[in-house]
Amino acid sequence: MSISVIDAVGAAFGRTKRVLFQPFDIGKWFVLGFCAWLAFLGEGGISFNYGGGNFNTRRGGMPPEFQAALDWARDHLPLVIVLGVCVLLVAMVIGVVLTWLRSRGKFMFLDGVVRNRGAVVEPWRQFRVQGNSLFWFRIVLGVIGLTALALIAVLALGIAWVDIQAGEFGVAAVAGIVTGVLLFIPIVLVMVVIQLLLEDFVVPVMYLKGLRAWAAWGVFFREVVAGHFGAIILFYLLKIVLGLAAGLLTCLGCFMTCCLLGCLMALPYLGTVVLLPLFVFFRCYSLYFVQQCGPAWQVFRDEWPDGTPLPVPPPSA
């Protein structure tokens, strides 16, 4: 059965209008927005500010500020180790909690979009098994990914250790950097692809079939990827284009509202409510793509397979 990424876009657009605007219900927006906020909790980008430090090549190429910090760390090594371990443990606990909440929120938001409603308590309980399974899958995946990256870092440092001890940037340092980059890039690409497929397809399979994460991956490869690999590539290419268009529309909205929209977007939770149409649209896009795999993949029970709403029966007398 052929799959059209264009038809999925049109159906997703129509579904977004029906869920959020036909009729418009501000209470539903805030509840569904909370579910979306929970589903993407902690997934925002991280910016790194390096400041205005000036790295030069005097005295082995190491800046004085860095050398002073390194000397202090050597003189207080036990304290540095204790502080580092404490910070790492706190970060790990926060990351685990956010992953658990986010995993449960994925199904709450998905259920709200599919059933055209704003609900928190019922989907939180109903999809506890799937949410917890998704949580453990992500924990295992994260551990594997971090372990692989740590091994690459150790290998790169080992290669460059001669130059590090000498405080120079020589052949060993270059070899360490090149080795690290060549091994780092494919690992990161694999992790990104797994996360994308998990978000767009495996979570809907878990929701629709009532499966745990590992079983859902098997169904996804057997029934979705098989025969539709090219369509999945087109799906992500079009999703990139749609993401760029969404970014341009958001920037235009900020400009037309004199940055008021941007200020609201910067606020936790309220920013998700403001951008809820985008969250709903992109969630629907992958659902309508999967729905074209056959009658067994009918996600939206209140619509025909082409996205046309089913007629509403007249109220009984």
Taking the CA atoms of 273, 240, 42 and 51 in sequence, report the sign of the dihedral they define.
negative
Contact predicate 290/297, CB 8 Å: yes
CA distances from 155 to 114, 146, 177, 207 (A): 47, 14, 10, 41
Give the span between the Cα atoms of 161 and 154, in whole angstroms.
10
What's the one-letter identity of residue 10?
A: G
What's residue 56's pLDDT? 41
**What is the C-alpha R_g of the chain?**
24
DSSP one-letter code for 311: P
Output the pLDDT for position 307.
55
What is the distance between the alpha carbons of residues 87 and 92, in angstroms, rounded to a whole number? 9
Q: Which of 140, 146, 143 is nearest to 184 (CA)?
A: 146
In this structure, are residues 38 and 108 in contact, taking their beta carbons and an 8 Å threshold? yes
- C-alpha closest to that of 8 among 207, 22, 230, 16: 16
The token pair that represents 46 in the structure block = 């991280």
Geometric angle at alpha carbon 119, from 18 and 204, rounded to 5°: 70
Q: Is 227 helix (H, G, I), strand (E, B) or coil?
A: coil
State the Cα–Cα distance between residues 175 and 183, nearest whole angstrom.
12
Answer for the pair 31, 119: CB distance below 8 angstroms, yes or no.
yes
How much is the pLDDT for 42? 79
SS3 316: coil
Residue 268 has a pLDDT of 83
Q: Max Cα separation, the chain? A: 91
What is the C-alpha to C-alpha distance for residues 201 and 133, in angstroms, rounded to an integer?
15
Q: What is the pLDDT of residue 58?
A: 41
Helices (H), the chain: 5-20, 26-39, 64-75, 77-115, 121-126, 128-166, 171-197, 203-209, 213-220, 229-256, 260-265, 270-274, 276-291
Q: Which two tokens stand for residue 202?
A: 């495996």
Cα distance between residue 102 and residue 234, in whole Å = 28
Query: One digit per residue, pLDDT tens: the chain, 317 residues?
Result: 678 999 999 999 999 999 999 989 999 999 999 999 999 987 753 333 334 344 343 444 456 666 676 677 677 778 778 888 899 899 989 999 999 999 999 999 999 999 999 999 999 999 999 999 999 999 999 999 999 999 999 998 888 888 777 777 888 888 888 999 999 999 999 999 999 999 999 999 999 999 999 999 999 999 999 889 999 999 999 999 999 999 998 888 777 777 777 777 778 888 899 999 999 999 999 999 999 988 888 888 766 555 566 554 444 43
pLDDT at 219: 95
Cα–Cα dist 40/34, whole Å: 10
3-state secondary structure of 200: helix
CB 130 within 8 A of CB 212: yes
| Nearest-angstrom CA–CA distance, 5 and 12 | 11
Q: Residue 173's closest CA among 187, 194, 188, 158?
A: 158
